[in-house]
Chain A
Amino acid sequence: MLSKTQKSFLFAFTMCVVCSLILSAAAVGLKDKQERNVRIDKQKNILKAVGLIEPAKKYSQSDVEALYKRSIQSLYVDAQGNLVKNETSKPVYVSLKNGKISSYALPFKAYGLWSWVKGYIALANDGNTVVGVTVYEHAETPGLGGEVEKAWFQDQFVGKKITDSNGKFVSVGVVKGKVSDSVPVSKRSNYVDGISGATITSKGVEKYLKIDLQAYEIFSKRLRG
């Protein structure tokens, strides 16, 4: 006969095995579908960053796939700043209009408070003006750092410049509080309002956005001429 403690251990062990089997089966069975969702969500975010998604319209998954295929070219930037088809560490998603670049999106990855905030920032063909910013993955606190995924925060970036009035690369900064309170008028095109209650997330976005934009400067500089 088993003692009481042994019975408890046996029960706990059986319980763990049964539950983990159920969960593994579900994870394996649903994996393909989840990965497809994530892939399409990324495509949708790229389209949104370059301004091809109308906010009021609904898009089905196949709409997104078709639109992406039609209007986005997935290329890479090489060490000399050329656009190439061979894979390098710098992917760039180019939106073409009549065979010419109209805008291009590049991925950014910023460390917030809890984890990486991943998204895209799109620049116009002048290599300077921001067309859009989107976030497709983050683990910030909803209502505080989680605001990075909200339209009010992202929409502020539209029309901002990544260079200062002398043409020097400065990236787009995120200030604490409001831009109108702390930044002189001449520099306002390089700053957006921060998220209140989420200084670490805001500062993280500022820091890593600069690093990531800097990495693509070799390409953006050419467009600025």
Chain B
Amino acid sequence: MSIKKTQAYKVFMKPMVEANPVSVAILGICSALAITTQLIPSIVMVLAMTFVLTMSNVTISLLRHVIPKNIRIIVELVVISTLVILADQTLKAFMFDVSKQLSVFVGLIITNCIIMGRAEAFALANGPWLSMWDGLGNGLGYGYILIVVSFFRELLGAGSLFGIKVIPQALYDAGYVDMGIMLLAPGVFIVIGLLVWAQNIYTKRTQ
């Protein structure tokens, strides 16, 4: 059986394009606004987010038969917050500068509706193996959009990539100016809007 036919593969690929949490469901926009001005913090954010999402999906899926139905939402929140605090503490210990840059937004992963949404919609109804792939898929589906957005914001807004200047000085001397708007909130809406547009064209064509 080829890998493309397995259910895990399907679960993993679905949130990449056709059910992408950002460009289709328009979730997680708040964090996309806040931390995508530069590539490095975005990548760290994506890793932290994917870690939390995958682990919370697996944990909740493992506990799905014992969690009492009447308190399930608060139980999900406890699992998610524990994982987020772990991620935050680890960043503070090993990547202090990035953690300072991300400031409150690591803590705010708790409120990212993608995580709670996946726990409710997928992990409570499926086994841990598939839930893990669903978490990874959604984390990375959210992640590549963030990375694309921050690529354009950093390149056009600050003329650099990964903090290194890439636009040559000669161009500035010739009168080129960085687009300040890309570093502000409207820049994100423009980039995400264009991505959603591209996504819609693609989905229409494939249907």
Contact = CB atoms under 8 A, between A and B. Distances in A.
A146 B89 contact: no
B1 interface: no
A34 B92 contact: yes
A23 B90 CA distance: 11
A7 B93 contact: no
A30 B93 contact: yes
Interface in B28-77: 34, 66-68, 70-71, 74-75
A142 interface: yes
B34 A142 contact: yes
A27 interface: yes
A106 B159 CA distance: 35
Contacts of B71: 8, 11-12
Nearest to A61: B96
A22 B55 CA distance: 14
Most B C-beta atoms less than 10 A away, residue of A23, A27, A37, A146 = A37
A23 B85 contact: yes
Contacts of B75: 11-12, 15
Contacts of A146: 103
A41 B96 contact: yes
A30 B82 contact: no
Contact of B89 (A15, A16, A26): A26
Interface residues of B, number: 23
Interface in A154-187: none
A19 interface: yes
A15 B66 contact: no
Interface residues on A, range: 20 to 34
B89 A27 contact: yes
Interface string A13-50: 00110010011001100100110011001000000000
Contacts of A22: 82, 86
Contacts of A33: 93-94
Nearest to B95: A37
Contacts of B89: 26-27, 30, 34
A7 B68 contact: yes
A126 B179 CA distance: 41
A41 B86 CA distance: 22
Contacts of B82: 19, 22-23
B34 A23 contact: no
Interface of A: 4, 7-8, 11-12, 15-16, 19, 22-23, 26-27, 30, 33-34, 37-38, 41, 139, 142, 146
Which 6 pairs across A and B sit closest by C-beta, in order of nearness? A37-B96, A33-B93, A30-B93, A8-B68, A19-B82, A34-B92
Given A16-B78, A22-B86, 20 more contacts: A7-B68, A8-B71, A11-B68, A11-B71, A12-B71, A12-B75, A19-B82, A23-B85, A26-B89, A26-B90, A30-B89, A30-B90, A30-B93, A34-B93, A34-B96, A37-B92, A37-B96, A38-B96, A41-B100, A142-B34
25 contacts: A7-B68, A8-B68, A11-B66, A11-B67, A11-B68, A11-B75, A12-B71, A12-B74, A12-B75, A16-B78, A19-B79, A22-B82, A23-B85, A26-B86, A27-B89, A33-B93, A34-B89, A34-B93, A37-B92, A38-B96, A41-B96, A142-B34, A142-B104, A142-B105, A146-B103
